[in-house]
């Protein structure tokens, strides 16, 4: 009998409030905090998805792991990432979702801070890498997911002809196995609409919108132990189809309770991709 391995670790949930949360990606105005809202570190069971009885599926749990070696040599070389990795991500997204066309529209490299400071929104950046993001979030809301289509497909007629599309995130280690601050993903079927809170992400020239999450004991969390460079975690961030498929997959970095003291700092890349279906 297959017994799934599970650990308990803290995950940063938003505490309920009447105020709409916000966060800045750049130095905020004087006397304005980097982020608003109060968070609580809740101990939650997090299952090692590698030991699950059946493989995960992107349209069911909202995520799946693929063996997907990359030809990229230097993930800090934006030109190489855009020329090589974006193509790899698009091909992987199509293979996982069964979509017809895929458009990679951004990527971000992250690294855990050397002092292993408390996980937060991840505003700090050093040597071209953002910090690990320890807030439970989903990259798109119902509203911002709808807006993204026109931002990617700038031809109005082409966008209007799309019947269904989704947005996926592809997450990968860019060094060796991830032993420090792995990524946890929440089974999309365990997340209710009432658990998701719309929040502003303020950029220098625009304001984006994401979901944060309030705690629910029904949330089912997973991670993939020791993810290596040849693997990619693909998870759903939005789907225009309203029923029968996963739509939102909250996720967050977490401090693994069994991280070796000398574990290398986690370095990863995430790429976002819009997939159009026939």
**Distance separating alpha carbons of residues 85 and 107, to the nearest angstrom:** 10
pLDDT one-digit tens code per residue, 162-216? 999 999 999 999 999 999 999 999 999 999 999 999 999 999 999 999 999 999 9
Is residue 212 a contact partner of residue 135, using CB atoms and an 8 Å limit?
yes
Spatial CA neighbour of 197 closest among 267, 136, 108: 136
The answer, yes or no, to whether residue 1 has pLDDT greater than 90, is no
- Structural Rg of the chain based on CA atoms: 18
- CB proximity list for 240: less than 8 A, separation 6 or greater: 145, 146, 149, 162, 164, 165, 166
User: Is 143 within 8 Å of 237 (Cβ atoms)?
Assistant: no
Contact 105, 273 (CB under 8 A): yes
What is the structure's pLDDT at 127? 53
Q: Mean pLDDT of all residues in the chain?
A: 93
Phi, psi of 111 (to 5 degrees): -145, 135
Q: What is the pLDDT of residue 4?
A: 80
Q: 269: which strand partners?
A: 109, 172
- pLDDT, mean of residues 66-82: 97
Residue 57 has pLDDT above 60, yes or no: yes
Sheet holding 231-239, edge to edge: 63-67, 231-239, 164-173, 267-277, 101-111, 129-130, 125-126
In this prediction the pTM is 0.93
Q: What is the pLDDT of residues 81-92, one digit of tens each?
A: 999 999 999 999
Mean per-residue pLDDT, 14-21: 94
Q: Which two tokens stand for residue 15?
A: 């505490």
Nearest to 61 by CA among 278, 222, 277, 275: 222
* pLDDT of 98 higher than 60: yes
Q: What is the pLDDT of residue 121?
A: 59
**For residue 25, what pLDDT is reported?**
87
**pLDDT tens, 105-155?**
999 999 876 666 666 555 445 555 676 778 999 999 999 999 999 999 999
- In the beta sheet, which residues pair with residue 45? 8
Give me the percent of the chain exceeding a pLDDT of 70.
93
pLDDT of residue 120: 59
Q: Which domains does the chain have, with CATH numbers?
A: 61-195+214-277 (2.60.120)
């Amino acid at each position: 009998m297959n017994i799934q391995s599970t650990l308990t670790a803290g995950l940063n949930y938003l505490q309920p409030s009447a105020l709409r949360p916000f966060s800045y990606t750049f130095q905020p105005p004087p006397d304005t905090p980097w982020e608003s809202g109060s968070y609580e570190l809740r101990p939650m069971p997090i299952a090692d998805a590698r030991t699950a009885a059946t493989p995960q599926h992107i349209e069911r749990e909202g995520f799946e792991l693929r063996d997907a070696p990359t030809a990229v040599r230097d993930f800090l070389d934006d030109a190489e990432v855009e020329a090589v990795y974006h193509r790899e991500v698009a091909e992987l997204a199509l293979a996982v979702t069964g979509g017809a066309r895929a458009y990679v529209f951004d990527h971000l490299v992250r690294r855990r801070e050397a002092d292993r400071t408390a996980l937060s929104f991840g505003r700090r950046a050093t040597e071209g890498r953002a910090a690990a993001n320890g807030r439970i979030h989903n990259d798109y809301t119902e509203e911002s997911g709808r807006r993204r289509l026109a931002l990617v497909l700038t031809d109005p007629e082409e966008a209007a002809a799309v019947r269904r599309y989704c947005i996926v995130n592809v997450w990968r280690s860019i060094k060796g196995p991830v032993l420090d601050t792995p990524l946890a993903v929440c089974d999309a079927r365990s997340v209710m609409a009432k658990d998701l809170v719309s929040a502003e992400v303020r950029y220098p020239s625009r304001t984006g919108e994401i979901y944060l999450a309030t705690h629910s004991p029904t949330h089912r969390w997973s991670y993939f132990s020791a993810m290596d460079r040849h693997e990619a975690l693909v998870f759903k961030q939005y789907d225009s189809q309203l029923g029968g498929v996963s739509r939102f997959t909250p996720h967050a970095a977490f401090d693994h309770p069994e991280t070796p003291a000398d574990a290398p700092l986690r370095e990863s890349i995430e790429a976002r991709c819009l997939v159009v279906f026939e």
